[in-house]
């Protein structure tokens, strides 16, 4: 079965988010004064084969651990569901 | 005379001839390269300058900014290798009838450096075809002998596109750095005629 | 509850010393601060005594060790500030960010001297290429250096890369920066006076990298996760603003003293200024712009990047502020210089730290670790290696050229913008890197070397040879050395054998510095480079800065010539110990190290410089890794020329063909210059070993370098 | 009131996602053979003040139009909700 894993990766609490700060300043300057904070992270979408949703979730989690995320500086969340093309 | 203009200013110096948006990592290339700079206060003045028919040149990050502003079509995506590339490469001059290339001959091959991570030009296929048909490509990556093709395109740009111009012919964007190729001591002076070209063009136009 | 002193990184003896000096027990924040400031990384406690044996003064030295960077005089009122610094531990756990912040940090060191950063180099000792983890680290490290250096707009003009399994989980990342400074505009960190203000400019302070300095002073724990909060994130864009902002403030004459905030952040920068200036300093933690709520000791020790500490008169404040505002940087007055000799930090009106500034920023008691000569000792001379006929020579050469350690490095340096600022005359990919200084029309040449294999064979001779390997190409290119900087990358000094090796290595560097008058103007020490999987080989890295006037162009290490002679200068025989041949072709064989003969080096230097001055050669290359044949092969590949060698004038043993060590070089000389060339080298061993030909590299007509190899190595395939 | 806008930005259909392809290859190489496709985009989190959720959503959408997204090359989705710290 094919599953879709949606992985959000963003700078850990307390870790300097250089992009977020730059985007925040720019938004404020171009007229979005109501913006209080911006954080910029990565969105990774993985299509994978697995026997069950639980297996797919486990695989996605281990991809994060091994390649996609450096948990020294990044937090992440994984959402897995069946893939509907 | 050359002036540096602060990004937060809103006007260009009086009697500005050529506006150059140089290379460099404006705002650290955060979000998308050139996107944040495209919202700088000075940009309205640049747009006005361009619409008056005067020349605007965007080099590297400046090219990226011009596409973000919309003065040039398209966008610049990450090199296919996903590496930053700094190297000398060769480009072929495709047009000699622009304010920037008058001192070159069509077909001439220049040795000129590139230094970028996002230099792969992108336009949806049909628009790309139209761009080509209208002859808006000014520089194309090539071999030292002037042969174009994927093998000679360092960043994966379609049709070897290295620089394009707007329809009106006064806004040029290019990834290679002509300002880094003006002295043979530093490896090449093939960029020098570009500066001489715009200079003559402006003198002609302003009658000075 | 108060943390115990060992958890803070202090030994019982050190803790006793603190109590004796203070006459009381330190408070919590004080203990944390002393733990960091008395760490090896900040205090050099294991190496201070050793480093004091290095010659540091000389004709060209304007500023020796002790400031943020050393400075040498390049004439007409201009100086070059330079220094190398390690970022080994951070790069081992977060390769991209670790390497990136290493670049950022060394740029600020040079900026702190009032210099404009104009060039970067990076020395990388990476793990074996067959180890996937090491390859991933290597990739991240190179991307990090590129990511930061490119965006900050300082060209990376060269470096050094080598691969060995000992660096698999402990790669070495040594970043070097050079800056240009008018000699009458040098900024110091020892010029603060009571009543002046401490101004922090740059990024807001966050919880990043707290106690990173202590982290760098111990081995890498098995579970690197435990050391994780200690990594910092770099923001090259803010760094660019910071450089321009500080230089603008400086150009207005508003800076009394300046210090970058590296390891141990506010604490080290402010206490060092106070200690060196003989004053006290009082920091109000409530005034520090923060990203988040923090404890006072965290504020004191945070290693948030892209911050500088300026000391200024109160009258200058308004202008400083308006300049910083224009560059969109946060800034704040965070304290003042006092006359009581104390480093004080207050929070909410309460003094949370009150320590003698000298005790915090002036170093701690030295530690003397025991030394013991390794039992193995220097290895005996191995069996003579026998003779190599031309086909064997060709096989050896191609095996050596296949080795990652002798491959060219364009995969790496093509990712670095080495041309930005448009002064790079000789870019990476050459034996030396050279940039021009427009201000006084001169060429500044830089080389960087590290040779762990030779140092592990014989630390004294190996370190000396490392230094000489950096000097010789400079001379051959036509540049006279002005000074050196170094980074002592070693495993734990607490092991007596390691310590002995460290001592001997420093002696080797000191000997060359003295004999050849190449003083040490700055440097850095990185000890405890070990992980559960082992320790690194002794890896002292040396970088030398040299000067050439613009009257003669730098001599290149290869040239496209139609015809001419090939000369070998120096001994016919090199030495195999610790070299590429023994490592790659005869692993396990034992060979002696080479000898260091100062007079021969000096003689070589004078003749090499004269050769360039007289324009007596078309190209020249000091023989280094892989020996004579490898040097010739690289010349052929690079300029796409052929060289025909005459075996009658060469010996056919590996010592001649592949030996290393000692002053030897090959030159390409056009016919018309032959006499001139020979006159430059008269009295020194010199012989014509072949001629330039069309085609490849041949020995008695045997092809040494098949066309495929040449094409592939030259990137034509 | 404070709202949280969660913005996902990803390469448009038809735009070659080189980064996604590279991640896909790496994942395959390090043993995740079941991975079929990877796409890499951005995740931008904006904290903003607005009078209502509808206003917040409109503001977020217009930030996308003006700065956050280049719709020649990128698609995006916006999700807005009240912010719970
Ligand atoms: N990490 C690096 N960064 C930039 N340039 C490098 C780096 N490593 C090597 N180089 C450049 O590549 C060339 C050869 O590198 P090196 O490893 O020192 O080999 P060699 O033993 O031939 O000197 C030199 O020009 C050097 O400046
Ligand atoms: Mg070298």
What pLDDT, on a 0 to 100 scale, did the predictor assign at position C572?
94
Burial of C239 (0-12, 13-18, 19+ CB in 10 A): buried
Q: Report chain A residues whose CB lies below 8 A from the CB of C241.
A: none
Q: pLDDT: is B15 or A72 the higher one?
A: B15
What pLDDT, on a 0 to 100 scale, did the predictor assign at position C306?
95
**What ipTM was estimated for this complex?**
0.92
Given CB atoms, is A7 within the 8 Å cutoff of chain D?
Answer: no
Name which of A22, A30, A40 is nearest B27 (Cβ-Cβ). Answer: A22
Alpha helices in C218-309 (DSSP H): 236-251, 265-277, 296-301
Measuring CA to CA, how many Å separate A49 from each of A7, B179, D28?
A: 16, 51, 12
pLDDT tens column, A69-83: 988 788 999 999 999
What pLDDT, on a 0 to 100 scale, did the predictor assign at position C491?
97
Given CB atoms, is B124 within the 8 Å cutoff of chain D?
Answer: yes
What pLDDT, on a 0 to 100 scale, did the predictor assign at position B167?
97
Q: Is the CB of C407 under 6 A from ligand 1?
A: no
Take residue C704 and report the two structure tokens written for it: 């040494």
Query: Is residue B168 predicted with pLDDT exceeding 60?
Result: yes
Q: Where are the domains of chain A?
A: 2-15+41-82
- B25 and C424 within 8 Å at the Cβ level: the answer is no
3-state secondary structure C158-192: EEEEEECHHHCCCCEEEEEEEEEEEHHHCCCCCCC
What pLDDT, on a 0 to 100 scale, did the predictor assign at position C228?
36
Q: Please identify, in words, the CATH class of the domain defined by D2-15+41-82.
A: alpha beta
Q: What is the CATH number of the domain that holds B66?
A: 3.40.50.880
Q: Which chains touch A (3 or more CB pairs under 8 A)?
A: B, C, D
Residue from D23, D25, D43, D78 to probe the interface with A (highest A Cβ count within 10 Å): D43
Take residue C696 and report the two structure tokens written for it: 């490849």
Q: Identify the segments of chain D with pLDDT beneath 70.
A: none
- The CATH number of C188-217+233-364 is 3.90.650.10
What pLDDT, on a 0 to 100 scale, did the predictor assign at position B194?
98
Q: CATH 3.90.650.10 spans which residues of chain C?
A: 188-217+233-364, 555-717
Q: Are strands C280-284 and C342-347 parallel, antiparallel or unpaired?
A: parallel
Q: Chains B, D: CB contacts under 8 A, how many? A: 32
Asked whether residue B6 is domain-assigned, the answer is: no
CA distance B21 to B179: 12
What pLDDT, on a 0 to 100 scale, did the predictor assign at position A73?
84
CA distance C661 to C594: 6
Q: Report chain C residues whose CB lies below 8 A from the CB of A16.
A: 203, 206, 208, 232-233, 235, 291, 304-305
Question: What string of DSSP letters covers A12-77?
Answer: PTTS--HHHHHHHHHHHHTT-TTEEEEEEEEEEEEEEE-SSHHHHHHHHHHHIIIII--TTTEEEE
CA distance C680 to C674: 10
Q: Is the CB of C593 under 6 A from ligand 1?
A: no
Given CB atoms, is B8 within the 8 Å cutoff of chain A?
Answer: no
Instruction: Write out the H or E segment, with its range, that includes residue C401.
Output: helix C390-402
Q: Is the CB of C413 under 6 A from ligand 1?
A: yes
| Buried/exposed B18-37: b ≥16 CB within 10 Å, e otherwise | bbbbebbbbbbbbbbbbbbb
Output the CA B115–ligand 2 centroid distance in Å: 23
Q: Is the CB of C624 under 6 A from ligand 1?
A: yes
Q: Which of C87, C89, C499, C591 is catalytic?
A: C87
Strands of the sheet containing C350-356, edge to edge, are: C257-260, C307-312, C197-202, C330-338, C280-284, C342-347, C350-356
What pLDDT, on a 0 to 100 scale, did the predictor assign at position C217?
54
Q: Which chains touch C (3 or more CB pairs under 8 A)?
A: A, B
Q: Is C545 left (phi over 0), alpha (psi -120 to 50) or beta?
A: beta
Name which of A15, A18, A72 is nearest C93 (Cβ-Cβ). Answer: A72
Output the CA C625–ligand 2 centroid distance in Å: 9
Ligand 1 atom 27: the closest Cα is on which residue? C158
Q: Which atom of ligand 1 is nearest to the CA of C448?
A: 18
CA of B131, closest CA in chain C: separation in Å? 31
Q: Contact, C535 vs C494, CB < 8 A?
A: no
- A22 and B39 within 8 Å at the Cβ level: the answer is no
How many whole angstroms from its chain centre is CA D55? 20
CA of B36, closest CA in chain A: separation in Å? 7
Q: Which chains touch B (3 or more CB pairs under 8 A)?
A: A, C, D
What pLDDT, on a 0 to 100 scale, did the predictor assign at position C230?
64
What pLDDT, on a 0 to 100 scale, did the predictor assign at position C512?
98
Asked whether residue B10 is domain-assigned, the answer is: no
CA of D34, closest CA in chain B: separation in Å? 24
Output the CA C447–ligand 2 centroid distance in Å: 7
Take residue C229 and report the two structure tokens written for it: 């909060």
CA of D24, closest CA in chain B: separation in Å? 14
Q: Which residues does D contribute to its contact with B (CB < 8 Å)? A: 14-16, 18-19, 22, 42, 66-68, 70, 72-73
Output the CA C161–ligand 2 centroid distance in Å: 8
CATH topology of domain C555-717: Phosphoribosyl-aminoimidazole Synthetase; Chain A, domain 2 (3.90.650)
Take residue B151 and report the two structure tokens written for it: 């093998």
Q: Contact, C144 vs C156, CB < 8 A?
A: no
Ligand 1 atom 24: the closest Cα is on which residue? C429
Asked whether residue B148 is domain-assigned, the answer is: yes
Instruction: Write out the H or E segment, with its range, that includes residue C88.
Output: helix C88-93
Number of Cβ within 10 Å of residue C160's Cβ equals 22
| C250 tagged catalytic | no
Output the CA C580–ligand 2 centroid distance in Å: 14
**Nearest bound ligand to the CA of residue C409:** 1
Output the CA C138–ligand 1 centroid distance in Å: 15
Q: How many domains does chain B fold into?
A: 1
- B36 and A19 within 8 Å at the Cβ level: the answer is no
State whether the Cα torsion B65-B66-B67-B69 is positive or negative. Answer: positive
Q: Is the CB of C194 under 6 A from ligand 1?
A: no
Q: Report chain A residues whose CB lies below 8 A from the CB of B39.
A: 26, 29-30
Strands of the sheet containing C539-549, edge to edge, are: C424-426, C433-437, C442-450, C539-549, C480-489, C520-526
Q: Contact, B138 vs B174, CB < 8 A?
A: yes
- C304 and A16 within 8 Å at the Cβ level: the answer is yes
State the first-to-last Cα distance of chain A, in angstroms, to the nearest integer. Answer: 12
Residues 17-46 of D with CB under 8 A from A: 20, 23, 26-27, 30, 32, 34-46
Q: Identify the segments of chain C with pLDDT beneath 50.
A: 1, 222-228, 716-717
CA distance C486 to C506: 10
Q: Which domain holds residue B149?
A: 19-206
Instruction: Write out the H or E segment, with its range, that includes residue C709.
Output: helix C707-713
Q: Which residues does A contribute to its contact with B (CB < 8 Å)? A: 18-19, 22-23, 26, 29-30, 40
The chain B residue lying nearest C241, using CA atoms, is B27
Q: pLDDT: is C227 or B49 the higher one?
A: B49
Q: Is the CB of C190 under 6 A from ligand 1?
A: no
Altogether, the residues listed in chain A come to a count of: 85
- A37 and D47 within 8 Å at the Cβ level: the answer is yes
Q: Is the CB of C627 under 6 A from ligand 1?
A: no
């Amino acid at each position: 079965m094919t599953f879709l894993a949606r992985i959000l990766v963003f700078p850990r609490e307390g870790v300097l988010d250089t992009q977020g700060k730059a985007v925040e300043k720019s938004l404020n300057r171009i007229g979005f004064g109501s913006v209080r904070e911006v954080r910029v992270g990565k969105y990774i979408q993985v299509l994978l084969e697995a026997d069950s949703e639980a297996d797919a979730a486990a695989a996605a989690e281990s991809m994060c651990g091994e390649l996609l995320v450096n948990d020294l500086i990044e937090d992440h969340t994984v959402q897995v569901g069946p893939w509907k093309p | 005379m050359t002036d540096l203009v602060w990004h937060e200013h809103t006007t260009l110096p009086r009697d500005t001839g050529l506006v150059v948006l140089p290379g460099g990592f404006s705002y650290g290339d955060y979000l998308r390269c050139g996107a944040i700079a495209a919202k700088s206060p000075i940009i309205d003045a640049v747009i006005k300058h361009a619409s008056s028919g005067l020349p605007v040149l965007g080099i590297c990050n400046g090219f990226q900014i011009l596409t973000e502003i919309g003065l040039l079509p398209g966008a610049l995506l990450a090199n296919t290798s996903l590496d930053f590339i700094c190297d000398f490469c060769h480009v072929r001059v495709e047009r000699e009838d622009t304010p920037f290339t008058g001192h070159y001959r069509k077909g001439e091959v220049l040795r000129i450096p590139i230094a970028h991570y996002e230099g792969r030009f992108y336009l949806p296929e049909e628009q790309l075809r139209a761009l080509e048909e209208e002859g808006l490509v000014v520089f194309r990556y090539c071999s030292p002998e002037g042969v174009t093709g994927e093998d000679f395109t360092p960043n994966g740009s379609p049709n070897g596109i290295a620089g394009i111009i707007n329809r009106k012919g006064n806004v040029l964007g290019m990834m290679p750095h002509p300002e880094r190729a003006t002295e043979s001591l530093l490896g090449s002076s093939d960029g020098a005629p570009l500066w001489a070209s715009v200079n003559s063009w402006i003198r002609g136009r302003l009658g000075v | 509850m108060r943390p115990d002193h060992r958890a803070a990184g202090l030994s019982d003896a050190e803790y006793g010393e603190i109590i004796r000096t203070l006459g009381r027990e330190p408070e919590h924040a004080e203990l944390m601060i002393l733990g960091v400031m008395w760490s090896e990384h900040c205090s050099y406690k294991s190496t201070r005594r050793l480093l004091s044996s290095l010659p540091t003064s000389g004709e060209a030295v304007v500023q020796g060790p002790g400031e943020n960077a050393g400075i040498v005089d390049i004439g007409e009122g201009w100086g070059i500030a330079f220094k190398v610094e390690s970022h080994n531990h951070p790069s081992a756990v977060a390769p991209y960010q670790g390497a990136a912040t290493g670049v950022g940090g060394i740029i600020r060191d040079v900026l702190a001297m009032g210099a404009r950063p104009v060039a970067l180099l990076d020395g990388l000792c990476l793990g074996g290429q067959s180890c996937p983890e090491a390859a991933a680290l290597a990739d991240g490290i190179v991307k990090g250096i590129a990511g930061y250096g490119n965006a900050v707009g300082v060209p990376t003009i060269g470096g050094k890369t080598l691969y060995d399994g000992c660096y698999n989980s402990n790669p070495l990342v040594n970043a070097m920066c050079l800056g240009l400074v008018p000699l009458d505009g040098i900024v110091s960190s020892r010029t603060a006076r009571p009543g002046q203000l401490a101004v922090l400019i740059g990024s807001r302070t966050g919880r990043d990298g707290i106690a990173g300095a202590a982290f760098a002073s111990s081995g890498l724990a098995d579970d690197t996760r435990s050391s994780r909060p200690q990594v910092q994130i770099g923001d090259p864009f803010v760094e660019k603003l910071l450089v321009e902002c500080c230089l603008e403030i400086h150009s207005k004459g508003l800076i009394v003293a300046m210090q970058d905030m590296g390891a141990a952040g506010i604490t080290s920068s402010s206490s060092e200024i106070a200690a060196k200036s003989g004053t006290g300093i009082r920091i109000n933690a409530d005034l520090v712009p923060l990203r988040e709520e923090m404890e006072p000791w965290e504020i004191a020790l945070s290693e948030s990047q892209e911050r500088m500490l300026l000391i200024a008169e109160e009258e200058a404040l308004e202008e400083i502020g308006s300049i910083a505002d224009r560059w969109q940087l946060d800034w704040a007055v965070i304290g003042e210089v006092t006359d009581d000799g104390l480093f004080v930090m207050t929070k909410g009106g309460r003094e949370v730290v009150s320590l003698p500034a000298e005790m915090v920023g002036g170093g701690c008691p030295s530690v003397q670790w025991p030394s013991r000569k390794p039992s193995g000792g220097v290895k005996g001379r191995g069996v003579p290696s026998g003779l190599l006929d031309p086909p064997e020579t060709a096989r050896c050469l191609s095996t050596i050229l296949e080795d990652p350690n002798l491959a060219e490095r364009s995969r790496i340096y093509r990712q670095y913008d080495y041309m930005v600022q448009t002064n790079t005359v000789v870019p990476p990919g050459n034996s030396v890197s050279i940039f021009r200084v427009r201000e006084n029309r001169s060429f500044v040449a830089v080389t960087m070397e590290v040779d762990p294999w030779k140092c592990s064979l014989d630390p004294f001779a190996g370190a000396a040879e490392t230094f000489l390997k950096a000097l010789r190409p400079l001379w051959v290119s036509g540049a006279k050395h002005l000074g050196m900087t170094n980074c002592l990358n070693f495993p734990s000094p607490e092991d007596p054998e390691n310590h002995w090796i460290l001592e001997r290595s420093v002696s080797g560097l000191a000997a060359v510095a003295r004999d050849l008058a190449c003083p040490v103007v700055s440097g850095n020490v990185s000890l405890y480079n070990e992980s559960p999987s082992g320790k690194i080989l002794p890896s002292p890295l040396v970088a030398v800065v040299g000067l050439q006037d613009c009257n003669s162009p730098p001599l290149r290490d290869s040239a496209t010539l139609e015809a001419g002679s090939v000369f070998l200068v120096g001994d016919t025989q090199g030495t195999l110990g610790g070299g590429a041949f023994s490592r790659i072709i005869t692993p396990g064989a034992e060979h002696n190290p080479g000898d260091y003969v100062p007079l021969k080096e000096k003689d070589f230097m004078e003749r090499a410089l004269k050769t360039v001055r007289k324009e007596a050669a078309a190209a020249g290359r000091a023989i280094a890794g892989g020996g004579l044949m490898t040097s010739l092969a690289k010349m052929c590949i690079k300029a796409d020329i052929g060289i025909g060698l005459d075996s009658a004038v060469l010996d056919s043993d590996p010592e001649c063909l592949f030996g290393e060590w000692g002053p030897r070089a090959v030159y390409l000389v056009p016919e018309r210059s032959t006499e001139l060339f020979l006159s430059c080298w008269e009295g020194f061993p010199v012989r014509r070993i072949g001629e330039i030909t069309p085609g490849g590299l041949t020995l008695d007509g045997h092809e040494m370098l098949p066309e495929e190899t040449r094409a592939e190595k030259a990137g034509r395939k």
